[in-house]
Amino acid sequence: MALAEQVSATDIARDAVDRPVLARQGHDTAQTITLIVENMNCGGCMRKIEQTLASTPGVQSARTNLSAKRVTVVANPDATDADQLIGRLRSVGYRAAELVDSIGTDAARPDRDLLKCVAVAGFAAANIMLLSVSVWAGVASDMDPAVQRLFHWLSALIALPAISYAGQPFFRSAAEALKSWRLNMDVPISLAVILAAAMSLYQTIQGGEQVYFDASVTLLFFLLIGRYLDQSMRRQAQGAAQNLLALKGAWVTTVDELGATNRIPVRALAAGMRVLVAAGERVPVDGRVVSGTSDIDESLLTGETLPRTAAPGEQVFAGTICLTHPLEIETTAADDKTVIAEIARLMEAAEQARGRYVRLADRAASIYAPAVHILGLLTFVGWSLSGAGWETAITAAIAVLIITCPCALALAVPAVQVAATSRLFADGTIMKVADGLERLAEIDTVVFDKTGTLTMGEPRLGNGGEVDDEALSSAASLAVSSRHPYARAIVAAAAERGLKILPVQDVHEEPGAGLRSGHGASQTRLGSPAWCGLLEESNEDASLWLTRPGMPAVGFAMEDKLRSDAGNVVHRLEDAGLAIELLSGDRTRPVAHIAQSAGIATWHARQRPSDKIARIDALTGRGHRVLMVGDGLNDAPALAAGHASLSPASAADISQMAADTIFQGDRLSPVVELLAVARRARRMAFENFAIAGAYNAICIPLAMAGLVTPLIAAIAMSASSILVTANALRLRTMAVRLSP
């Protein structure tokens, strides 16, 4: 099947992306605007941004991507533009900018800055705790008040600069929220830290005994750890579409009407211009072959390992590789109009649609933050009305703010994620996105690709036992001069048998046909039946043939080996109540064979990228949660569209970027382990929420009653965080089993 039939940019866009092309209010077209929102940090931010933009006149849809901190807006160009959208977001406290190709950002800088804050807070907390222990021990042994006051001042000198620096992530977020008359989880955190530090400084100046520098700094330290773990995991999901677009190439060699060549940027290309592509180079544009014939490696687009022969008049596409001979191509689409660019847009849109999944901690935060402030205010007012002094009232309020700070809640999910991802990593499985485990736990349907997923993706000689050493050695001597996958398979088979491979000097390769050496009647040929003159002797079992003077023709049957445990994995998944399907772009016969060998009853062959997404959408529409397992670029949009996604380490780079998870090795069993760990992780996350809830139910009333000092509140808060973390760490070693 031609690539034009397998990969259609129009079909991809129509079948996979819910992108309106007709504007409302009587206008003819709509534009898509992508904005970067720097301070989008949680599910509450996502909801607020989407609601704000959706209420803007002319906006048809707005979809946020938390991992990439982007929002894609489809709007009427006559009613609004990027500046107006940025202004709308600024009015509710969000810093936004339009995404353009020239923007260069240091993606790792926020992680580095946050890690510095963690280090400063940890160093300060350790030193202040040493001073606090000295004071506690000294009070019991009648420490001199002057020495005690000196220790308090030393604590202040350490704590105040540390809080000023390490608390910036929370302080900035809280300030922006308050400016826009809204609340988030950083507001009570900032209030507790600032009030505790201010009260401690006041007590130090007055010579009081109760200071809470250790509580405020320790609080910051634990919360920064949770924030860093969460943010560093989310940041790994960025950049898939950008890496895909990098495959287009930056420069091309053009040919003018006089035959002169010139090197120009790919952005300067226009339809109708001719470009030269050397053997081994990646095709930079979509176009029609004008001269030359070459094998084209389309595995990046189709997922299939067998190259296609491109002759004059046939279409080739950006991102594919010209294997055997140079080509002259007339450009039909370049830059952002190519199929590969369309797939990149598809992937980004699918990721943003998936971004609506809001984690449990973020949902709880929508009601948690205002509740914390109300409880703190009620505590202060209650103690003030009871006749207690303002110091007592504010101390009790600080204790409430500290003890109700959502540290255990904030760590409930990240702690489980860290434990689960550490376990999976030890088994060769890499989790790339923060909420991937939650979505994997909801899976009820698994869709596999064939080549490179259920199979190893490497053609091998299947009938080696029927081929004698002399024939295999002769074939390898020709094949060693070719880059064709079948030729490499023959060379590998000869090497495994220990045969000598002596390269032939006068080998000629005919793209799409085969190899030959010698002249006239003394020719030796390796290739297709037609190339070898064996039309009547050919059969479907042999992939290529060897003919030699005076010797009978020898057929070589190639096969793509099924992963050794594929059948067992399919059986275990079905026993766990999961539905299994196979979607492949390959021909019907090999797909049917692999499906039967793996025990998969439902399978579909000759599937284009749009067909795969259409099938996933159909399953999703019936209420199923689909795990897509694939390895080719043609699978990348489907990977992004699935509820969750998984790729082998041998997959194309872009498929690895699009997938939530990557597994290594030749076995398929990591799929079962991944789903079992994900389901167990979800149960442990709920257990952690229960621990955090019980902690608040017991400690909040005690704090409001004045029975808990800020220091004890910080210890209790830290204890709840440690308990949540300890519970999560059990996942690293406990036995898990995938069950219905």
Whose CA is closest to 693, among 220, 229, 394, 371? Answer: 371
Which 3-state string (H, E, C) describes 330-373?
EEEECHHHCHHHHHHHHHHHHHHHHCCCCCHHHHHHHHHHHHHH
Question: Half-sphere exposure of residue 287, counting CA atoms within 13 Å on the CB side?
Answer: 27
Cα–Cα separations (whole angstroms), residue 654 to 220, 424, 637, 663: 38, 21, 10, 15
The residue type of 47 is: R
- Asked whether the beta carbons of 395 and 199 are under 8 A apart, the reply is yes
The per-residue DSSP string of 166-210 comes to: HTHHHHHHHHHHHHTT---THHHHHHHHHHHHHHHHHHHHHT-S-
Residue that is written with structure tokens 């890690």 in the block: 115
Residue that is written with structure tokens 């064939």 in the block: 450
Residues counted in the chain = 740
Return d(Cα 77, Cα 56) in angstroms, integer: 13
286, 335, 449, 586: the active-site residue: 449
Q: What are phi and psi of 559, to 5 degrees?
A: -140, 150
The residue type of 644 is: A
Whose CA is closest to 561, among 434, 692, 666? Answer: 666
Residue 383 tokens read as 């103690």
Q: Which residues pair with 156 in a beta bridge?
A: none
Q: Which residues pair with 37 in a beta bridge?
A: 96
Question: Half-sphere exposure of residue 674, counting CA atoms within 13 Å on the CB side?
Answer: 31
- Asked whether the beta carbons of 88 and 56 are under 8 A apart, the reply is yes
Residue 442 tokens read as 């909801």
The per-residue DSSP string of 602-628 comes to: EEE-S--HHHHHHHHHHHHHTT--EEE
Residue that is written with structure tokens 């205010």 in the block: 377
In 3-state terms, what secondary structure has residue 563?
Answer: coil
Other CB atoms within a 10 A radius of the CB of residue 348 amount to 23
Q: In what order do the strands lie in the sheet with 321-322?
A: 308-310, 294-297, 321-322
Region of residue 142 (left: phi > 0; alpha: psi -120 to 50; beta: else): left
Q: What are phi and psi of 359, to 5 degrees?
A: -70, 155
Whose CA is closest to 669, among 424, 364, 383, 379? Answer: 424
**145-166 vs 213-235: helix crossing angle, rounded to 10:** 20
Angle at 642 between CA 320 and CA 8, to 5 degrees: 35
Q: Is position 635 annotated as part of the catalytic site?
A: no
Residues contacting residue 37 through CB under 8 Å, at least 6 positions apart: 45, 49, 64, 69, 70, 71, 89, 94, 95, 96
Residue 28 tokens read as 């003819």
Q: Which residues pair with 101 in a beta bridge?
A: none
The per-residue DSSP string of 508-556 comes to: EEETTTEEEESSGGG-EEEE-TTTTT-TTT--TT-SEEEEETTEEEEEE
Cα–Cα separations (whole angstroms), residue 516 to 307, 507, 688: 19, 6, 68
Angle at 657 between CA 651 and CA 663, to 5 degrees: 50
Return d(Cα 259, Cα 274) in angstroms, integer: 10
Enzyme catalytic residues: 449
